[in-house]
Structure formats: C-alpha cells, structure tokens
Amino acid sequence: MNELRPAVFLDRDGTLNVERDLVRAPADLELISTAGSALRQLARAGFLLIVVTNQSARARGILSASELEDVHERLKELLEAEGVELTDILHCPHHPTEGEPPLRVECECRKPAPGMLLHAAAAHQVDLSRSWIIGDAARDIEAGQRAGVRTVLVLTGKGESEQERCSPDLISADIAAAAHELLACS
C-alpha cells in the first residue's frame, strides 16, 4: 500500500511563468526568476509538484495539442535546468462556450472546478488534506478550496487584480514568497 504524500498544485501562467496574452510556442515561455529555487525548496520538503493549467486556447483553435506539448516540454526543460522535476502537468483544453465539440463543453477539469486536482490526487496518491495550490487567479483558489487543499494567491500575473474576488489561506508576493510562507505553515 502506497503512503499518501502532500502535493503543491501549481498554476502555470502568471505563477510559474511570466503572464502573456498567449504562450503559444516554447520561446514564449519565460520562467519567473524565482520559480526554480521555490520549487526546489518545496520538493526538498517532500511535496509532489503538479502543474494544473486551463488551456482554453486548445478549444478555441488557437493552439494545437502538439504546440501545447512543446510548451510543456520547454517548461520541464527550464525547470530541470534549475534542478526541479515536476511530478506531472495536467491541463484542461475545454471551454464552455467557445470552439467546437468535443472541446466546447462544460467539464469537471476547467478551474474553478476541482477535476484536475482530484484526478492528480488519485493518480499520484496525494493527501489532499496536507496539500496546497498556488495560483494567481480566483479560479485557482476556488479549485483548491473545492478539492480540500489550502490555497495561496500570488500577486504576480493576474493576482493583484484578483485579490478582491477570493479568500485564500495566504497571499504572497510571488512564487518564492509563497513557498517560504507555505513551508512555515506546514
């Protein structure tokens, strides 16, 4: 029987990498400067690192599956160069009103729904009661709350403008501050 482990679920855009209108190609992905060191600290503390990202550009036909895979491969490469190995990257390709079926659909994986977190918890034996989500949007915080994890809103990306729309457990300046504060609470 596998022991359940804590995880930190991580939003991608605005949390790990610099917020852009659209990250369509690997060259568009720029890590936030402190992301690597923050994730190394979390991994050393025993947390699984799982990216959970809404990617409705897939449903809207702006981004192909292979382009998204290339971006995620680049994310892995950049983090590996910083000594970080992600446990998993999950994405929701759906949008409820845009694009064509089967990607135009109300789903359980698009944040603020908790589906990606719950799927990852089952796949990786995650103890949700000891886990966290770090994100820059109210939808990240709500997904975490609905999944039963503690929440951190970072003020990078959309975070500054999202503060009034949610009630996270912690508010942190960036991913580095989030890691420090999260570890102090765990």
pLDDT tens-place string over residues 136-180: 999 999 999 999 999 999 999 999 999 999 999 999 999 999 999
Annotation marks residue 13 as catalytic: yes
How confident is the model over 25-56, as pLDDT tens digits? 999 999 999 999 999 999 999 999 999 999 99
Q: Which pLDDT score, from 0 to 100, does residue 144 have? A: 98
Tell me whether residue 100 is exposed, middle or buried, using C-beta atoms within 10 angstroms of its C-beta: 0 to 12, 13 to 18, 19 or more: exposed
The model's confidence at residue 21, banded by pLDDT at 50, 70 and 90, is confident
- Among 13, 136, 140, 174, which one carries the catalytic annotation? 13
The yes-or-no answer on residue 11 being catalytic is: yes
- Please state, in angstroms and rounded to a whole number, the distance separating the CA atoms of residues 16 and 29: 10
Neighbours of 125 (CB within 10 A): 13
- First-to-final CA distance of the chain: 24
Helices within the chain (DSSP H only): 35-44, 65-81, 115-124, 138-147, 159-162, 175-185
Q: What is the pLDDT of residue 1?
A: 54
**Helix 35-44 and helix 175-185, axial crossing angle in degrees, nearest 10:** 20
Please provide the CATH number assigned to the domain covering 7-185.
Answer: 3.40.50.1000
Enumerate the domain spans of the chain.
Answer: 7-185
89-113 pLDDT, tens digit per residue, is 999 999 999 999 999 999 999 999 9
Q: How far apart are CA 157 and CA 15, in angstroms?
A: 7
Distance CA 117, CA 144 (A): 8
